[in-house]
Amino acid sequence: MVSTSTNPNTEAKKRAFDLMLTFVKSQCTYTAARLGIFDLLDDRGEQTVEDLAQATNTDIERLYFILRALAHVEVLTEKPGRIFAPTETSTLLVTNKDPSVGHLLMHLIEPAQWDAWKVLPEALEKGVVPFELANKKGVYQYCYDNEWSKDTFIKAMSFLTNSQVDGLLDAYDFGQYETVMDVGGGQGGLIANIVKRYGCKGVLFDLPDVADTAREYMASIGVDPGAIAIKTGDVFEKIPKGAQAIVMKHFISAWSDEDALKILANCKAALPQDGRLILLQSFVPDLDEPKTEADGIMPGIFAVQINVATPGGGWRTKKQFQELFAKSGFKLEKTVKTSNSLSIMEFKLN
């Protein structure tokens, strides 16, 4: 008689093999996105591997291995005759149209980011930032110095905003403020949507290089750029006054506690006494909280990526953020959960 019992180690072994080969899935997906494979399939429909290789100037047989692997994990569909067709997943990864998850993927897996992971053991021993150890400069400076990296990073951040903004605006009333300022707001997608929904005045504050394309981008999503004041500068030096509410989305988590306290001190100086500082953030769950958010993001995993790339401690728990803001003279008023991985913490001056 043949035993039909399941070895108790089977699932553990599957998990172990998946963990060791997850990098292959990531690199295949990155390569296809960087070559424009997903764009070609979205524009032209299903194609043979020969056609895709010709369009991307790549070796047919080696490209086939990558596309077949992507079909095995259901990113693409393979049909007889080595024909590949797009899927709902590959459509999300298209990068020749609007900012997409494909831009976020390429930003997180580009070679400079990958190099940081390769030196992670050494960086842990030295107590330094892996990205800086591998690339001899910080991640933001690297992006600003490399046009493709900068463009991809800006679009990746715009995608994150676009994917979360509806849930945010449904959960929180920004109409209670006359003027809202987005600190570290990139191309202005968040503040543009706030102004569009609630009719308040808006201010975008970021570095000059980041804000260069803001007016064009805001116009492309149907918002009059003239309705939003664009101000540039350094958050470590001064944040402009004039707003009743300051919004920071996934911005403060990129900095260490020491640097974050400097930024928060400048926020406090910029706000009126009855002003509000609104943190928009994914929180690392405590031990008794779910590890995966409704939109599929695992904050505890994402926090490692932030930690590997930036001098900040990565994403924090709600309690850690509350304690950090309290040191800067802010008192938590309320916490609001949205329909995605984003949450809201509203602070007033203490």
CB atoms within 10 A of CB 179: 15
Are the CB atoms for 75 and 87 separated by under 8 Å? Answer: yes
CA atoms within 13 A on the CB side of 205: 27
Q: For the chain, give every domain's residue range.
A: 10-95, 98-161, 162-349
Using CA atoms, how far apart are residues 68 and 75, in angstroms rounded to an integer? 10
Using H for helix, E for strand and C for coil, what is the string for the chain? CCCCCCCCCHHHHHHHHHHHHHHHHHHHHHHHHHHCHHHHHHHHCCEEHHHHHHHHCCCHHHHHHHHHHHHHCCCCEEECCCEEECCHHHHHCCCCCCCCHHHHHHHHHCHHHHHHHHCHHHHHHHCCCHHHHHHCCCHHHHHHHCHHHHHHHHHHHHHHHHHHHHHHHHHCCHHHCCEEEEECCCCCHHHHHHHHHHCCEEEEEECHHHHCCHHHHHHHCCCCHHHEEEEECCCCCCCCCCCCEEEEECCHHHCCHHHHHHHHHHHHHHCCCCCEEEEEECCCCCCCCCCCCCCCCCHHHHHHHHHHHCCCCCCCCHHHHHHHHHHCCEEEEEEEECCCCCEEEEEEEC
Locate 274 and state its tokens: 């009855």
Q: What is the pLDDT of residue 214?
A: 86
Mean pLDDT of the chain: 93
**What is the percentage of the chain residues whose pLDDT exceeds 90?**
79
Q: What is the pLDDT of residue 7?
A: 72
Confidence of residue 211 (pLDDT cuts 50, 70, 90): confident
Q: Per-residue pLDDT for 161 more than 90? A: no
Q: Per CATH, which fold does 162-349 belong to? A: Rossmann fold (3.40.50)
Q: Per CATH, which fold does 10-95 belong to? A: Arc Repressor Mutant, subunit A (1.10.10)
pLDDT in tens, 292-334: 988 888 999 999 998 999 887 668 999 999 999 999 999 999 9
The model's pTM is 0.85
Q: What is the pLDDT of residue 239?
A: 97
Does the fold of domain 162-349 match that of domain 10-95? no
pLDDT in tens, 1-15: 555 556 768 999 999
Q: What is the pLDDT of residue 212?
A: 76
Q: Per-residue pLDDT for 52 more than 70? A: yes
From 249, 243, 231, 281, select the one nearest 185 (Cα to Cα). Answer: 249
The arithmetic mean of pLDDT across residues 264-271, rounded, is 97
